Amino acid sequence: MEPIVFMGVQMPDRAGRVCPANRSKMDVSAALAAGWARVIMRVGRGAFADRLGIDAKTVARALIGETVPELHTALNAVMVEPTALDEVMSLYGLELRPREAGPGADMAMIADLARLTAKWVDVMADGVRDYQETLALADAIRPMMPGLKAIVSEADALRGTVPIRVQGSQA
């Protein structure tokens, strides 16, 4: 059954649910390119391709949307950077995160959070956060998100609870 779209707005189905529309190959390709480009800015195109075990031309074709890599290649990107598929997953209302956060990662997370706090204080020294500072903060925060989410998930499991998503919430 096709979802009903009226004036660009998806309408609820008979049970009152809004049925999400399937994503096109072009949507997935664009989201993958955005995530990979973000990672490549940090690690370099050649290093990214090497770590994926693919040719740099394959990466270039994926970045311009000429081709979409095979599933295993796309998924291998999370081995280079755990957030490499964030944009793709967000198309489906999902997120990728480690199953659990080990105690060994805690000290690294604390150090990363301390560096982030210092950077944020510097940014706010003039009382204003401009768009470049926002982008820089987001670049510092994004790699921490999977580890922070894993800690929250671990706490939920200890409590025997499942997190309830509030509409509009990203947590």
pLDDT tens by residue, 105-150:
788 889 999 999 999 999 999 999 999 999 999 989 988 887 888 7
In a domain, 169, yes or no: no
pTM for the whole thing? 0.60
**Total structural domains in the chain?**
2
> Are residues 90 and 128 both part of a single domain?
no
25 phi and psi angles, rounded to 5 deg: -60, -35
What's the domain range around 12? 1-96
For residue 3, pLDDT beyond 50: yes
Q: Are residues 87 and 112 in the same domain?
A: no
CA distances from 17 to 13, 39, 138 (A): 5, 36, 33
**d(Cα 25, Cα 108) in Å, to the nearest integer?**
37
Convert 38-47 to b/e letters by CB count within 10 Å (16 or more is b): bbbeeeebee
